[in-house]
Amino acid sequence: MAIRSLQRSKLWSESNWLVASLRLVLIVYSLSFFVDSTSDRSNMVRLTLSSKAKDRGAFCLDGSLPGYHFHKGSGSGSKSWLLFLEGGGWCDTIESCSSRAMTSLGSSNYFKHEVAFLGVLSSDPSQNPDFFNWNRVNIRYCDGASFAGHPEAEFKNETQLFFRGQLIWEAIMDELLSMGMSHAKQAILTGCSAGGLATLIHCDYFRDHLPKDASVKCVSDGGFFLNVPDVLGNPTMESFYHDVVTLQGVDKSLDQNCVAKTEPSKCMFPQEFLKNIRTPVFLVNAAYDFWQIQNVLVPNSADPDKRWAMCKLNIQNCDASQMKVLHGFRSSLMDAIGGFHQSKDGGMFINSCNSHCQTSITESWHSPTSTRIENKTIAESVGDWYFNRKQVKLIDCPYPCNTSC
């Protein structure tokens, strides 16, 4: 955070008091910044580049090594593991993947060496009451296909990019298993956005590689992407997923029962394969997910005159006709999760907020100002479900009834 420099006073008289006052403000501000930075240091966790990735041929888009941040568990959480898969969209063309390869979403050369562990990754019991002392891992996202690309696609597309998301997932899993996860008693795979989708794609793999007597479950945050037409009636998201799957060979990582019955790219949509997942799943989703509103329902291509511009920025700016469309989007979500709602082992927290990725942020995961349904935060709801304290199937009323958003 930059501190603006203070202009020097040309006059010593009355302006002297102004300068003295400003200097005092600057000192106080600097001290508060130092304190904040020091307190944040306790949440910072260092980057580790995978030691098994090179031998497995598991590389980011640009050929650099993938990585993760690991915070060791303690006490009652020493044999419990929580893996968080980062999100960050996808790339569907050689050009977009090449651009991505020059960022932290495609190259570990741009990874931050330390990241803050907040929300579901926090070590503060007041912010993360059920999982604060578990072994917690933030797995960095650098492949552009929800950890599901395959190298065969590189040769087919004659590119120097590396489509190795599946190998990244397997290499880091092997590494964590060798670090003690193979003896886990409790485990959760989670992630947000593209990482939330990856959580669902890899949920059973995660379960199958842990001890049979371990309690293993998956929590997908903001990963239930809908296969709905945009406001002009175009299949924008379906076409996009088709290009991602075709470019990076993702079909081999998708549910094979689904792939055998339909066009493979449709199996990127959770509504098509969620019923086939054997491991218990919890869905955290905003019914008015702002990422999906901006990119699935009203992409720029479907709004050439920018009529939706203000509404896309903030749901409070939407007019009556736009809200009708957004309520319809919520109804599509309700229809898509209808069967899952009947699942005995599944859980959900579907709030009516205009947000995206809620588990990795303290304010939305568990804080005095967090969104609540039936007076429960997301953290409390996930904890109740994971530890079988109660069944959790929480669905909010339509916007704007929930004032905690």
Task: Please list the active-site residues.
Answer: 193, 289, 356
Q: Ramachandran region of residue 112, left (φ > 0), alpha (ψ -120 to 50) or beta?
A: beta
Cβ-based neighbours of 167, under 8 Å, separated by 6 or more: 53, 56, 57, 58, 59, 150, 151
Nearest to 281 by CA among 373, 189, 405, 161: 189
E-strand spans in 13-66?
Answer: 44-49
User: Do 26 and 3 touch, CB atoms closer than 8 A?
Assistant: yes
In what helix (H) or strand (E) does residue 81 lie, and over which residues does it extend? strand 80-85
User: Do 325 and 297 touch, CB atoms closer than 8 A?
Assistant: yes
The span from the CA of 16 to the CA of 29, in Å, is 20
Q: Residue 145 is which amino acid?
A: A
The span from the CA of 381 to the CA of 282, in Å, is 10
